[in-house]
Amino acid sequence: MTAATRLEGRHALVTGASRGIGRAIAIRFAQEGATVAINYSGSESAAKETLEQAREASRQVGGPADRHLIVKADVGDAGAANAMCDQVIGKWGRLDILVNNAGIQSEAESHNYSIEEYQRILNVNLTGALVCSQAAIRHYLGRPGGGVIINCSSVHQIIPKPGYVAYSISKGGLGNLTRTLALEYADRGIRVNAVAPGAILTDINSAWKDDQEARANVEDHIPMARAGTPDEMAAIFAFLASDDASYVTGQTLYACGGLTLFND
Ligand code: NAD
């Protein structure tokens, strides 16, 4: 099996895939032969753009271009997240890979951070991942062969991010969600891992990514002296989704140009 086809026959749901890292994951999975469901909560046209790019990637490898889906749901709404997973599984009759990628953040000093805002962030970043994982696991347990879950965490799983208390808590929680589910279901063929990006060039970083000085400031603090790209993240998700990672579970892979080394 080559990297180009290692996800052939697999069906994957990627949350928050209308842009950024989620879009890159959907396209990379399609490039590797998978069928993908592209979840979005905002712009349908952005999700359709991901869909088109995934279809094009599939065509290039003779993959299932016509079977990709876009599915609207706010993963911060537990009922909607659960219904979306059931809808995708019902449509295909199977799911093999769940990627909990959707994530949001907002900044305020902790003593002034509104509890409503805290709950909004936690609902999307952490509870949404749990709810989607529950739906995937129920499906995985009902058939032979198990399945895969990959959470998109952050270096802030272990490095505090002052001013982002809800985000930091949510990513810390994702680390333990990953480890707990991995341990609970390891003997039933379900692998659960996380990818923890550092500073990646996506819209979540609009505060600095297109400003030369601000970006240089961020990159000054990265041992590899540059921000990462969504494609570099997608390659790691594809590895963890594939049988190349068949003996890996409960791990967080830090993809951050060495950023966490400062915290060793
Ligand atoms: P992004 O803002 O470009 O993408 C976030 C995606 O999540 C968007 O498609 C957005 O529509 C979707 N989303 C937001 N709320 C949603 C909801 N309620 N339901 C469904 N989808 C929703 O940013 P990104 O960098 O691509 O972020 C992807 C993931 O990577 C996030 O979990 C983020 O925390 C994580 N991450 C990013 C970086 C970085 O530097 N870019 C670093 C560490 C972790």
Q: 257: Cβ below 6 Å to ligand 1?
A: no
Structural domains in the chain? 3-255 (3.40.50.720)
What Cα–Cα distance (Å) separates residue 168 from each residue in 69, 76, 93, 222?
A: 32, 17, 36, 19
Q: What is the pTM of this model?
A: 0.98
User: Do residues 50 and 18 make contact, with C-beta atoms less than 8 angstroms apart?
Assistant: yes
The closest-lying atom of ligand 1 relative to the alpha carbon of residue 228 is 40
Per-residue pLDDT of the chain (264 residues; tens, 9 = 90+): 455 789 999 999 999 999 999 999 999 999 999 999 999 999 999 999 999 999 999 999 999 999 999 999 999 999 999 999 999 999 999 999 999 999 999 999 999 999 999 999 999 999 999 999 999 999 999 999 999 999 999 999 999 999 999 999 999 999 999 999 999 999 999 999 999 999 999 999 999 999 999 999 999 999 999 999 999 999 999 999 999 999 999 999 999 999 999 754
Q: Is the ipTM of this complex over 0.95?
A: yes
- Catalytic residue among 167, 185, 247, 254, which? 167
b/e code 127-149 from CB counts within 10 Å (16+ = b): bbbbbbbebbbebbeeeeebbbb
Q: 63: Cβ below 6 Å to ligand 1?
A: no
167 catalytic residue (yes or no): yes
Q: How far apart are CA 163 and CA 109, in angstroms?
A: 5
Non-local CB neighbours of 82 within 8 Å, separated by 6+ positions: 131, 132, 134, 135
Q: Which residue has the tokens 């936690």?
A: 122
